[in-house]
Structure 1
Amino acid sequence: MKELKLYLVTGRYEFSDEMFLKIVEEACQNGVTMVQLREKDTTTRHFYQLAVEVKQITDRYDIPLIINDRIDICLAMDADGVHIGDDEMPIKVVRSLIGPEKILGVSTKTTERAREAKKEGADYLGVGAIFPTKTKQNPQRTSVETLKTIIEEVELPVVAIGGIKEDNMETFKNTGIDGVAVVSDIMLAENVAHKVQSLKKSVEIVLEESK
């Protein structure tokens, strides 16, 4: 999935909606290939309204919009897909609810979970957290060795997740990943356009050397 190359997972960081949407648009303008809208501390109504506005942006740039966890939001505003973690509904239930056409991403830390995800209908895997991250409290880390094993043994596209920044991108050389998911390095960048362009070049080098 070429859409996984530079995968933006949004973070709120107390931004106003206006600033948040500005950052998302700048990221889409400058090279992110997929956007996952992650909202943990807001109302359902606000999440829905924000998702509608984000989709207007991603549609302009022909970029898939994935909703984190919330199947109801995904279906209500017709996002391109949903991404679920370990503590959500069973994968096969999610697939039955969203249907065969929408994208289903599944977070995994282990080979066993990756195999289960493939069997039950996932389209791609988010593997991690590879590095420490502030987006989740005390996340279980996933080694690069486990990442490589999942890629070798489970025939699904894989995006590496968790604390990924431009300065640790070389970690993924020769791993066989399909892309990287980035949160703070984009959302908190002083110059979003420049950061996304730079990240895109870095990940393209990694992917080329992984062939």
Structure 2
Amino acid sequence: MPPLHVLVTPTVAARADFARTATRMRERCGPALALHLRLPGATGRKLYGLTRGLAAAARRHGGWVVVNERLDVALAAGAHAAQLGSQALPVREAVTVAAGRLAIGASVHGPEEARGAARDGANYLVLGTIFATPSHHDVEPGGGDRIAACRAVDLPIVAIGGIDLSRVPDVMVAGASGIAVIRAVWSATSPVEAAVSLARALEPGEPR
């Protein structure tokens, strides 16, 4: 599983330079990058087309494309994983439908949900909210303690919520296998360079 998950929101996908930026990001980050499509308002047709294009680039350069919620689109378009939250198809049923054709990620918020996702067959966890973030201002962040509390579950943990380059060492020391970000990449002057810096910081052997 790639350690760097860069989320693509509707605002990001609507940027005039999105396709070019995503291609360059894939070329520079290679296997370290998962582009994670979180596009709740997109039609199935639009999401399918976008996923297929990004998946083709991933086949050339390595890495993953992850589709949020829409297991059907993920399977049809050749994505590497589907990310399932509380409103999506239950993990157990998704694992059965996927039949090993792609990875199933589960969005969790603590040890109990993490254990449940593991029992149901999830391949990895996206755990939040780790640090305060404007998009979840009403949610109490859990910090590194939340990551540490979920380490007993034998699944890779992708930490999400308020993570930037300066916080990578903290989340990795706490036990995360990777991070998921939005603003740390897309609000940067150069999203590509920001992604490259994060990917390098996540490499094994980097100082923590």
- Pairing of 1:16-55 with structure 2 (within 5 A): 16=14, 19-31=17-29, 32-55=32-55
**Shift in Å at residue 142 of structure 1?**
3.0
User: Partners in 1 of 2:84 and 2:160 — Cα distance?
Assistant: 13
- 1:182, distance to aligned residue in structure 2 (A): 1.6
SS in 2 for 1:129: coil
| Equivalent residue, structure 1, for 2:56 | 56
Alignment-mate amino acid for residue 10 of structure 1: V
Q: How high is the TM-score relative to the length of structure 2? A: 0.87
Closer/same/farther in 2, CA of residues 173 and 83 from structure 1, 3 Å limit: closer
Report if aligned partners of 2:2, 2:63 keep a CA contact under 8 Å in 1.
no
Percent identity, aligned pairs only, is: 24
| Contact 2:172–2:178, Cα closer than 8 Å, also in 1 | no
Whose relative contact order is higher, 1 or 2, with alpha carbons under 8 Å and at least 6 apart?
1
Matches within 5 A, 1:135-174: 135=135, 138-139=138-139, 141-151=141-151, 153-174=152-173
- For residues 101 and 155 of structure 2, the distance between their equivalents in structure 1, rounded to whole angstroms, comes to 17
Q: 1:5 maps to which residue?
A: 3
> C-alpha deviations, 1:111-166, integer Å up to 9, x for none?
11111111111011111111233455744533321210101x11111111122111
Match of 1:82 in 2: 82
Q: Quick one: distance in 2 between partners of 1:167 and 1:143?
A: 14
Distance 1:183 1:83, change over 3 A: same
Q: Pairwise mapping of residues 100-115 of structure 1 onto structure 2 (< 5 A)?
A: 100-115=100-115
Deviations 1:18-66 (A, max 9, x none): 5222221122122242221111222222111211222122222121211
Cα distance 1:88–1:15, how it changes in 2: closer, same or farther (>3 A)? closer
Relative distance call for 1:65 and 1:138 in structure 2 (3 A) is: same
Q: Please provide the CA RMSD for this pair.
A: 2.2
Q: Indicate how the Cα distance of structure 1 residues 49 and 138 shifts in structure 2: closer, same or farther if over 3 A, else same.
A: farther
Q: Structure 1 stretches of 5 or more lacking a match?
A: none
AA paired with 1:111?
P
SS in 1 for 2:203: helix
**Aligned partners of 1:107 and 1:125 also within 8 Å:** yes
Seen in structure 2, the aligned counterparts of structure 1 residues 137 and 48 have a Cα distance that, compared at 3 Å, is farther
For structure 2, the 5+ residue unaligned runs are none
For 2:112 and 2:7, locate their aligned partners in 1 and report how far apart those are by CA, in whole Å: 24
Measure, in 1, the Cα distance between the counterparts of 2:94 and 2:133.
26
- TM-score, length-normalised on structure 1? 0.86
- Give the whole-Å Cα distance in 2 for the aligned partners of 1:168 and 1:98: 34
